[in-house]
Amino acid sequence: MRVTICDVGPRDGLQNEPETLPPRVRAELVNRLGTARLPRIEAASFVRPDAVPQMAGAEDVVNAIERRDGTEYSGLALNVKGYERLAATGLDRVNFTLAATESFSRRNANQSLPEARAAAAEVIERSELPVTVTISVAFGCPFEGRVDPGVVAGLASELEADEIVLADTIGVATPRQVHALVERTRAPGVHLHNTRNTGYANAVAALDAGATLFDASCAGLGGCPYAPRATGNIATEDLVYLFSGDGVETGVDIDALIATSEWLEGVLGRRLEGQVYRAGAWAG
């Protein structure tokens, strides 16, 4: 069995950091992940710099990327204007994110849910690039609590995207919930956070339910600005270690990935959330 891992560290990871790294450093992170043979990397976010200053200069990041054969480079957009900026850069894929709840949509994208759905439909119709739609807060919302799986299933069936990804944005899901929603929606992808230490169990549950696309962030970098005390995404190298040990192919060079996380620890000047980059891989 083979899965696709998308490293979202350059976007979802760094956007939650207190400091803003220069575009050349963010591009170096993308390039190092490419060297580790990540099949997909989310390289940048095309949002307003006053709203998310950590993602300012997205075009400069993309221009500094050293493209690697076998790696697909995507970017994130929350609205049509963001999509137009993304499409002009020559990236390979659009990741359009919309929320499952009205409150989160207004807070995260400054749009009502109907406005966000209309924008997603327009991007899907206009895009010459493949479009992944990520449904954020698919399991729980910091403002509205638990999310009705039927609402998420309705969104997933309504949107005619190339891929649907279910996001546990604030890290509240448990394995049975993840298995049930992946199975119900037939979504190929999941975006998991390890806020309450269920992220890796949720990944296994998603795999068992048929998911083949997994977002993760090198060294477990990231979090959610609307979830106080939230830790980051599941760590890419930890997920690669888990899957590889169970015979699931990822194609990722775990040693190069560990080296990237060690480098990132030095750049940020602090210990990060991942486990494997500190413990090392083991081939026993």
Active site amino acids? 224
Distance CA 184, CA 139 (A): 13
CA atoms within 13 A on the CB side of 68: 17
Q: If you search the block for the tokens 């989160």, which residue do you land on?
A: 104
Element (H, E) at 10: none
Q: 3-state class of 108 per DSSP?
A: helix
DSSP letter string, 204-258: HHHHHHT--EEEEBGGG----TTSTT---BPBHHHHHHHHHHTT-B----HHHHH
Distances in Å between the Cα of 213 and the Cα atoms of 6, 15, 100 are 7, 22, 20
Radius of gyration of the chain (CA): 17
Distance CA 59, CA 209 (A): 37
Q: 3-state class of 271 per DSSP?
A: coil
Q: How many CB atoms lie within 10 A of CB 74?
A: 22
Distance CA 145, CA 77 (A): 25
Burial 4-23 (b: 16+ CB within 10 A, else e): bbbbbbbbbbbbbeeebbeb
